[in-house]
Amino acid sequence: MLGVLEAVVVRVSHYLMSSFRAGTGASIVAKKEDDVTREVDLVAEEMAYHMLRESFREGGVLYGEEKGVYRWGDERYIFVLDPLDGSLNYAAGIPIFSISLAAGRYKEGSISDLEYAAVAVPPTGDIYIASPELGARKNGKPVERSLKSNIVFVAVSNSFPEKTCEVIRRLGLRGRSLGTSALELIFTAEGAARGFVDLRGKLRVLDVAGALTFGKYVPGFKYLIQGDLVPHGRISIIAGDEEFINAATAL
């Protein structure tokens, strides 16, 4: 399972970087609620879908960001994919974006089914993978959370909640936003950031499923979620070490 997931995100990563360098794929082909679908999003999602269907012919359900749900065979596996997290960065020529993919045996159709993860960062070439057997690894090496920062990643939009600012101020931290929630959570799991806060209730599970599944296997990393835990569900989340989560929720 994990080897296939890694191969998928690597292949998609190569495609994204090739298109990014060529300055293609940023045109908007559809609009939905507060988000848009770009040409590169669709191509990357279809690429991942065909690779997964070919590798798991017995059956699966793929929850994708762009075209919804893909079903085949006996639907024994669940896959949750964000083919390009940070598409606005991509379109603006900012090299900060990622691909997030998580999987497991289909049981409830929620985040609790996910046991395997692969997250790729095309601009840096970094690959994060995780499984019950291997734990969490970055570029093949085990990941242990090493806290060395007073940065907290925060989700910023037109609906940026004032209570998020209060968490930053009261805890004496520095807020930052990279424009890709999956990568921000990965960095938080590693310890490059103290925490991650998104209290808007707009973040989708599929945006961060790969990062959260990865984080399950990093000692010391925890998260608290409120909302609908199905792949297309909307959530609010606080993540980091237990002390940070307790302090943030107390505020």
Q: State the pLDDT at residue 164.
A: 74
CATH 3.40.190.80-classified regions of the chain = 151-250
Q: Give me the mean pLDDT over the 110-132 stretch.
A: 96
pLDDT higher at 174 or 50: 50
Q: State the pLDDT at residue 206.
A: 92
CATH 3.30.540.10-classified regions of the chain = 2-142
The CATH architecture that domain 2-142 belongs to is: 2-Layer Sandwich (3.30)
Q: State the pLDDT at residue 121.
A: 97
Where does the pLDDT of residue 33 fall: very low under 50, low under 70, confident under 90, or very high at 90 and above? low
Question: What percent of the chain stands above pLDDT 90?
Answer: 71
The CATH architecture that domain 151-250 belongs to is: 3-Layer(aba) Sandwich (3.40)
Where does the pLDDT of residue 146 fall: very low under 50, low under 70, confident under 90, or very high at 90 and above? confident
Q: Give me the mean pLDDT over the 227-248 stretch.
A: 91
CB 210 within 8 A of CB 100: yes
Average pLDDT over the chain, rounded to an integer: 91
CB 99 within 8 A of CB 84: yes
Q: State the pLDDT at residue 145.
A: 84
pLDDT higher at 32 or 21: 21
124 secondary structure, DSSP code: T
Q: State the pLDDT at residue 73.
A: 95
Look at the block and give the residue holding tokens 């000692």.
219
Does the pLDDT value for residue 49 go beyond 80? yes
Q: State the pLDDT at residue 48.
A: 96
Q: Say if strands 195-204 and 151-154 run parallel, antiparallel, or are unpaired.
A: parallel
Does the pLDDT value for residue 237 go beyond 70? yes
Element (H, E) at 51: helix 39-55
Tokens of 209: 């499923």
The C-alpha angle with vertex 118 and arms to 114 and 123, in degrees rounded to 5, equals 145
State pLDDT tens for residues 156-210: 766 666 777 777 787 888 888 899 999 999 999 999 999 999 988 889 999 999 9
Question: What percent of the chain stands above pLDDT 70?
Answer: 97
For the entire predicted model, the pTM comes to 0.92
Q: State the pLDDT at residue 26.
A: 75
Q: Give me the mean pLDDT over the 15-40 stretch.
A: 84
**End-to-end Cα, the chain, rounded Å:** 41
